[in-house]
Chains A and B, each alone.
Chain A
Amino acid sequence: GEDVEQSLFLSVREGDSSVINCTYTDSSSTYLYWYKQEPGAGLQLLTYIFSNMDMKQDQRLTVLLNKKDKHLSLRIADTQTGDSAIYFCAEKDYGQNFVFGPGTRLSVLP
């Protein structure tokens, strides 16, 4: 079946850029998403990209999609302590089958 993989941990210093990577296996993905989960809270949609795009920028967030390699990344510019959270990559095919990665725990060091 479909699979989404992410590295589990990432530490960066405040003010640096963070890059969180994700790989997926489903070539029929239509949308790819990044969700953020803060402690004790549900998943919150951060941004998304349609599968026919290769880049999307939204303020401090940049999403890059390499469809050939099935690789998605999320870059957070000027990372702040408030960005500390778990970030989930997810993909969806033409149905309602969402597949989530295991999440990357981002720690921002002062």
Chain B
Amino acid sequence: DADVTQTPRNRITKTGKRIMLECSQTKGHDRMYWYRQDPGLGLRLIYYSFDVKDINKGEISDGYSVSRQAQAKFSLSLESAIPNQTALYFCATKQGAGGGELFFGEGSRLTVL
């Protein structure tokens, strides 16, 4: 089983619908992140959380919200999806501060029609 699991892996939805992407991890890491990948733009940070009571906005948080339900779970919500939120979304985890690596899930591909 993957250490960082994302569900669903693929989702097609319509404009205006509410969507939730879920992430769970078994690594025991304290920090969790949501990124989106768009061609040519790399990975851009949406939200991040250093522990259950700490939530921070990333560079592109508009239109998104998150919930850290437990240390191991971090979900991303699109309250009213729009077509330009069509992208590949990645959850990642990290232990502590400093330059250590992020561990990524396999991604959730979201298409908003």
Do A and B associate with each other?
no
